[in-house]
Amino acid sequence: MFRTILAATAALALSAGAAAAAVTVHTNAFIDAPAHYNGFEGLEGNPLLADVEGEGALFWPGQVPYSEGGLTVAFSAPSYIFVHDMTPTWSGGSGEWGMYGAANDGFFRITLTSGEAFQSFQAQVGNGALPGQDLTYRLYRQGELVLAGTTVLPAIGSYGWIGFSGGGFDEIQLSALWGERENFLAIDSLSANPAAVPAPATWALLIGGFGLAGSALRRRRAIA
């Protein structure tokens, strides 16, 4: 009896998290109605922007996370991130603003501002001023690597997409390294949906199952 209850409870727990284990990689836009969207348009007029090179170009301090529309973007290194009108041919992004990790060491780190896990995510990606780069992606769940891989970025003057669905991750790292260290990835139009909260009935079944298993174990010990 005890083994039957325990096996059934374990099977239910596994089925509740099974969907999160299979992440699908997308290289086209697939999210039509995102719950969260970060197009970097809130950068305009932000007091943290600075012309650090004195040439009229604006940069965002890489050590400061940027949040908009429920999505937070951070950079792994404390260097400045080039932000720009994203319509020029070197990026191909949409809207007026985006982030471009030009010649900076490190990678972009993307999370939901709420700290929730993702169900799905997509972003426009471009290779900036350099052709033929590979986009590297890494997905994490509570600090543990879930998925890693690469895909080819489009030619200069156009943009592509990278996205993930299936849930089971709460952090996305993106980079496009030139050589060993310098990141030349441009990102824009981040869209995401959070992971669904398990239905109350599912949690009730799990808790009830573990409760029954515990009761059966206590009875066995009492008889012994």
Name beta bridge partners: 58: 83
Q: What is the pLDDT along the chain (224 residues), one digit of tens a residue?
A: 544 444 444 444 444 444 445 999 999 999 999 999 999 989 988 999 998 877 777 889 988 999 999 999 999 887 888 887 554 444 545 677 888 877 677 899 999 999 999 999 999 998 766 666 789 999 999 999 999 999 988 877 678 899 999 999 999 999 987 766 677 788 999 999 999 876 555 445 545 555 555 555 556 555 65
In tens, the pLDDT along 192-201 reads 999 987 655 5
Query: What's the CA dihedral at 30, 175, 39, 194 to 10 degrees?
Result: 50
In tens, the pLDDT along 137-183 reads 999 999 999 999 999 888 776 788 999 999 999 999 999 877 666 77
Give the CATH fold of the 23-197 domain.
Answer: Jelly Rolls (2.60.120)
DSSP letter for each residue of 11-46: HHHHHHHHGGG-PEEESS---SS-SEEE-SGGGTT-
Say if CB 127 and CB 156 are below 8 A apart. Answer: yes
* Domain segments of the chain as ranges: 23-197
Say if CB 48 and CB 203 are below 8 A apart. Answer: no
Task: Pull the structure tokens for residue 110.
Answer: 């993307």
| H or E stretch at 66 | strand 66-68
